[in-house]
Amino acid sequence: MFARALGRRCPSCGAGPVTTRWIHTVPACPRCRLRLDRGEPDYFLGAIVFNMALAEALFAAALLGVLLWTWPNPPWDALYYGGIPGLIVAPILFYPYSKLLWLAFDLLFRPLRPSDFEPPPPRSA
């Protein structure tokens, strides 16, 4: 399921891609009709947590690597001015993956249920 999510495909059946533009996902999988938000409001809050944790973990790993590589004279200015845009860009780049990885993670703990395949309610204007 995680490999399918990293391919921007449905974690359940592998159909896809289930992203329309970089940050948008389709409401339901085109093959198995799994609702990507599982019919829950604010479902993707977990994806935001995944996203921020990954961005911060990447920054921490890069910081540690640069410090170990350049010690005892680390480039503090480069770390400072490179870290800020890195922490802004990384969550944007990882966003579609984090939504689908969150869904895969959730499916591990809460298996599919019939309500996951019900059509989404019509949007009110």
What is the binding site for Zn ion (CB under 5 A)?
10, 12-13, 15, 29, 31-32, 34
Closer residue to Zn ion, CB minimum distance, 15 or 87: 15
Closer residue to Zn ion, CB minimum distance, 34 or 104: 34
Closer residue to Zn ion, CB minimum distance, 13 or 54: 13
From the list 40, 33, 31, 23, the residue with the least C-alpha distance to 100 is 23
Name the minimum Å distance from CB 50 to Zn ion.
Answer: 20
Three-class DSSP category at 38: coil
Strand partners, 1: none
Task: Put residue 17 in one of left, alpha, beta given phi > 0 → left and psi -120 to 50 → alpha.
Answer: beta
Name the minimum Å distance from CB 116 to Zn ion.
Answer: 10
